[in-house]
Amino acid sequence: MHDTDELGVPEGADRHWRHRMIEMWVRRALDYQDLGIDLLLCGQSPLGELLAAPSAPLLNGISVCLVDVADPVRRARLAERDPGQWDTQAIDASLGWAAWHRGHALDPAHRPDVIIDDSWSEMVWSRWTGWKASDPRWHVQRLDTTDRPVTECVDQVEHWITEQRDTHQVGRLTLSPGWAA
């Protein structure tokens, strides 16, 4: 298990940086894959960015879940975290990003410009930009953590992981080799 930000986030990190980092993580996942090890990657890159990463089609399987919380709870948590760092504008931006993630998780046609415009030139957006929300490959499990204790949230994630592994083992994972063809 890794977090995309564990290596640090440089001052002025932008979309290009995020795209290069998701490619770096995909390459690390490929290293783990060669060793027979699964990777659970936590971060803020949505499914569209992951699928557009240059090396993504080399992965044996991809599953994505959005761990979410209701906006009022998110607002309260951010206001309590790192006092002074999260002003109203920063909290509103975080809420906007969360709302965009919810829309993107449901439909690949939901404002793809947010991640595509001014992107890293190596990204291959055409792998999914023609997909519809009904395409079975476009599946993001949403786990709502609002009003749930941490232990229950951990159980939800663990269940999702087990379910995805089982689905992959029986050959029914929709984002398995050949998904980009």
Q: Give a yes or no: residue 22 inside a domain.
A: yes
- CB count in 10 Å sphere of residue 69: 18
pLDDT value at position 87? 83
Mean pLDDT of 87-114: 94
Confidence of residue 90 (pLDDT cuts 50, 70, 90): confident
CA–CA dist 39, 24 (Å, integer) = 13
Q: Give a yes or no: residue 104 inside a domain.
A: yes
Q: Give a yes or no: residue 175 inside a domain.
A: no
Q: Give a yes or no: residue 65 inside a domain.
A: yes
> Is pLDDT at 114 greater than 80 in this prediction?
yes
Q: Is 142 helix (H, G, I), strand (E, B) or coil?
A: strand
Q: Give a yes or no: residue 117 inside a domain.
A: yes
Q: Give a yes or no: residue 25 inside a domain.
A: yes
The number of domains in the chain is 1
Q: Give a yes or no: residue 174 inside a domain.
A: no
pLDDT value at position 145? 94
> Is pLDDT at 12 greater than 90 in this prediction?
no
CA–CA dist 156, 162 (Å, integer) = 10
CA–CA dist 97, 92 (Å, integer) = 9
CA 149 to chain centroid, in Å, comes to 22
Range of the domain at 77: 2-153+162-169
pLDDT tens per residue across span 127-175: 999 999 999 999 999 999 999 999 999 999 999 999 999 999 999 999 9
Q: Give a yes or no: residue 81 inside a domain.
A: yes
pLDDT tens per residue across span 38-83: 999 999 899 999 999 999 999 999 999 999 999 999 988 888 887 7
> pTM of the prediction?
0.92
Confidence of residue 24 (pLDDT cuts 50, 70, 90): very high
CA 93 to chain centroid, in Å, comes to 18
Q: Residue 44 to residues 66, 69, 97, 100: CA-CA distances in angstroms?
A: 9, 14, 9, 11
Strand partners, 143: 67
CA–CA dist 117, 53 (Å, integer) = 15
Q: At what angle do helices 88-106 and 71-80 cross, to 10 degrees?
A: 140
What pairing do the DSSP bridges indicate for beta strands 64-68 and 140-144?
A: parallel
Cα three-residue angle 108-25-46, rounded to 5 degrees = 20
